[in-house]
Structure formats: C-alpha cells, structure tokens
C-alpha cells in the first residue's frame, strides 16, 4: 500500500464537500433480491429517496474480509493482497478512508460486529472504535447512536458493520426464513439510525451509503454466481439525487473514492475504484477551458479525468471544459495538449483560460452551464 506521505504529490483536486458527514453501513451477506418494500421497508425508502443500484458487484474472492478491505481502500483484492476468508490475526490495513480522513483532521469511527474485521482499525486512525463483544450488530449500532447524541463525539466519517444476515445464511441457507428475518432486523437497525439522524437535525448534511460485501447461495458465498456477486448499493442524503437509478456498473471498491469525493478530500491516484459521481446533484459546470474535473483549477487531475472519459467511459460535468484545444471534440489530443502545457511549457488551453470568462463555451458540446460561476 503506498505511503500516506505520497498523497500530497499524487492526488486529485476536488470540488467543495457534498456532505458534512458520511456514514457507510455494510450489511454482511445481503442479497440484492432480498431488498424489497415488504421485507426491507427502510432500505426501500432510502432507495426511493436516493440514488441506487441493485446490480452492484462484489469482488473475487467473494469473502467478507477482502471485500471490506476493498470497500475502505478503493483497491481490488489483487492489489491489496488480502484474499483469505479466515481471521488475519494481527494484520492491519494501511490507507483506508478512515485513515485518510483522520489525517486531514476529520473525526472517524468504526463500529464492528465481527472481530475479524479489526484489521480495518489501524491504531491512530480512529477517534472511536467499537467491536461488539457478542457479535451483535445491535450493540455496534447502539454505540453509533450513542455517539450521535453527543455533539462532542459526533464523527465526520463512520463505518458500521451488520453481521446477522451472513450468519443466518451460513447457518440456515440464504433466502431461508431465518435469513429473511435477519435481513428484517438489519433493516430495522438502519431505520433506527435514519430516524435518529432526522430527529437530531443531521439527516440533510449526512451522506448515507448502504451496501453489502457479497450475497450468498445455499449455505455459502464462495462461488461467483449472480446470487453471490450482485449486491445493493444505495446512497442517500447530502446532495444526492432523489429516486435515481445508477446507470454505470458499481463495484464495492468504488465506495472509498465516493466517500472521499463527498467529504471534499483528495482521491489518491493509487485507488482503483472510481467515485460514483452520478449519485450527486450536478453542480454548475465551470466554464474554464481544461478544467475537466470541475475543481476550479488546471492540473494533473484534469488530464486523468480526460483519460478516464476516453478509456473508461466516465462522464464530466462540462465536456466543453475538456475540449482543451477547442477543436469541437474531446479526444486524445486534449490530455496530450494539457500535459504538454503543464510539464513541457507547451501552449495553454484555448480561451476561456487562464481565467474563467475570458471566452465562451456556451455553444460547444454538452455543458450544463456555459458561464462562469
């Protein structure tokens, strides 16, 4: 895992934070087809009010520990190297979003209902760390709710793990009555948390992401079949589009960069996941030529945003801003032009540059707003 000291040199510049705080809730073993209005009314309500997909994908190997490490690091198991299902002992993971946020002065919290996920709790990276003594998610969720009550204890970024659906799936098979009851209880816990956020007046400023590490089939989840790979991924709250279906393919390791994006923190270049930007309400596009990532400045992040658009199909708020050489198209010549300007003293982007408003992009390509902010 790359050292944190390298982040200042290799990071993407971001726009203003979308959320005052972020809570990520992982419901272990939750299959997508278990998310229904009848069975999970709380999750169904979040889905109706937020942006979601029931076709997100777990990563191989489809085990709890590798996918939770991916969730919080933005790396695939092949990259972070943690691929086993068994308790890793004293191993500790570097570079989680909890560590990155804590390093930037934000208050972080980790609430676990499985002790084997303690590898996510790097010493010095957390302001609050709770592991349920009995493996009961209600205990971990109760600690989270208790911390919400105290303004001095409230976190900016928290992660909650809910274990019971996975345990019921292994013990009684996925989609059995016992499994479905465990899913209902997980949904009730989520509903309690959402309700308390609302009562405390914190809901509007909180981004809530609910997802699963894997599903299951029969009594296991080792085989990468659709019942195992397909998981829900639901975002709701601060600046999230309401009732929106996420069109792109989402993987669990896309969660980490999405959280950093929402908090206004840098996304390290070593992260393999991509922020699910389409869940957020579109900010006004910036009419600054070359500002492909809408950060308000020209830099390496813009070249990377262009390359991701060209080769990964990612969108950008204003395509005209990515037309660096003003030839009426976004193609490979644009990142080449931009990199030549940044690192070899080549010609600058066409107007409007170097200041917003020095020219017009109103009629070029697609752009939500062709004037300067």
pLDDT, tens digit, for every residue of 333-364? 999 999 999 998 899 998 888 776 545 565 55
Please give the average per-residue pLDDT across 188-197, as a whole number. Answer: 98
370: pLDDT strictly greater than 60: no
Helices 164-172 + 177-199 axis angle, to 10: 170
* pLDDT reported for residue 302: 87
pLDDT in tens, 129-179: 999 977 799 999 999 999 999 999 999 999 999 999 999 999 999 999 999
pLDDT in tens, 19-53: 999 999 999 999 999 999 999 999 999 999 999 99
* pLDDT reported for residue 371: 39
**Contacts (Cβ under 8 Å, ≥6 apart) of 120:** 68, 69, 72, 93, 96, 98, 110, 112, 159
* pLDDT reported for residue 365: 64
- The chain-wide mean pLDDT, for the chain, equals 89
Alpha-carbon distance of 63 to 355, in angstroms, equals 50
Structure tokens at 118: 């303690």
Using the structure block, give the residue that is written with the tokens 């209005």. 37
pLDDT in tens, 74-87: 999 999 999 999 99
Alpha-carbon distance of 28 to 16, in angstroms, equals 32
Alpha-carbon distance of 345 to 354, in angstroms, equals 14
Provide φ and ψ at 161, rounded to 5°. Answer: -110, 130
Q: What is the DSSP letter of 55?
A: E
Confidence of residue 289 (pLDDT cuts 50, 70, 90): confident
For the chain, how far is it from start to end, CA to CA, in angstroms?
Answer: 38
């Amino acid at each position: 895992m790359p050292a944190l000291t390298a982040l200042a040199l290799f990071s993407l510049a971001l726009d203003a934070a979308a959320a005052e705080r972020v809570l990520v809730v992982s419901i272990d073993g939750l299959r997508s087809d278990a998310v229904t209005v009848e069975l999970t009314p709380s999750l169904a309500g979040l889905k109706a009010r937020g942006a979601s997909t029931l076709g997100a994908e777990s990563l191989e190997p489809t085990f709890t520990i590798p996918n939770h490490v991916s969730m919080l690091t933005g790396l695939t198991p092949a990259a972070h190297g943690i691929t086993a299902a068994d308790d890793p002992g004293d191993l500790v993971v570097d570079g989680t979003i909890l560590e990155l946020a804590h390093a930037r002065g934000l208050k972080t919290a980790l609430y676990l209902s499985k002790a084997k996920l303690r590898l996510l709790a790097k010493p010095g990276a957390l302001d609050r760390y709770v592991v349920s003594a009995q493996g009961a998610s209600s205990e971990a969720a109760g600690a989270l709710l208790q911390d919400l009550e105290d303004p001095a204890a409230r976190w900016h970024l928290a992660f909650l793990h809910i274990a019971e659906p996975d345990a019921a799936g292994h013990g009684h098979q996925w989609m059995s009555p016992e499994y479905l009851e465990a899913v209902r209880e997980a949904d009730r816990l989520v509903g309690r948390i959402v309700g308390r956020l609302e009562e405390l007046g914190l809901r509007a400023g909180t981004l809530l992401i609910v997802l699963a590490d894997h599903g299951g089939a029969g009594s296991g989840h080792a085989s990468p079949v659709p019942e195992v790979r397909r998981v829900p991924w639901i975002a709701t709250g601060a600046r999230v589009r309401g009732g929106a279906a996420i069109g792109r393919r989402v993987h669990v390791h896309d969660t980490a960069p999405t959280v950093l994006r929402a908090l206004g923190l840098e996304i390290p270049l070593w992260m393999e996941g991509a922020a699910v930007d389409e869940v957020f309400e579109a900010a006004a596009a910036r009419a600054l030529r070359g500002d492909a990532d809408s950060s308000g400045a020209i830099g390496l992040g813009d070249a990377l945003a262009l390359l991701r658009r060209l080769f990964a199909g990612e969108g950008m708020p204003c395509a005209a801003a990515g037309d660096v050489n003003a030839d009426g198209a976004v193609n490979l010549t644009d990142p080449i032009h931009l990199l030549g300007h940044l690192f070899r003293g080549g010609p600058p982007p066409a107007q409007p540059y170097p200041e917003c408003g020095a020219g017009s992009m109103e009629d070029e390509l697609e752009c939500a707003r062709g004037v300067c902010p």
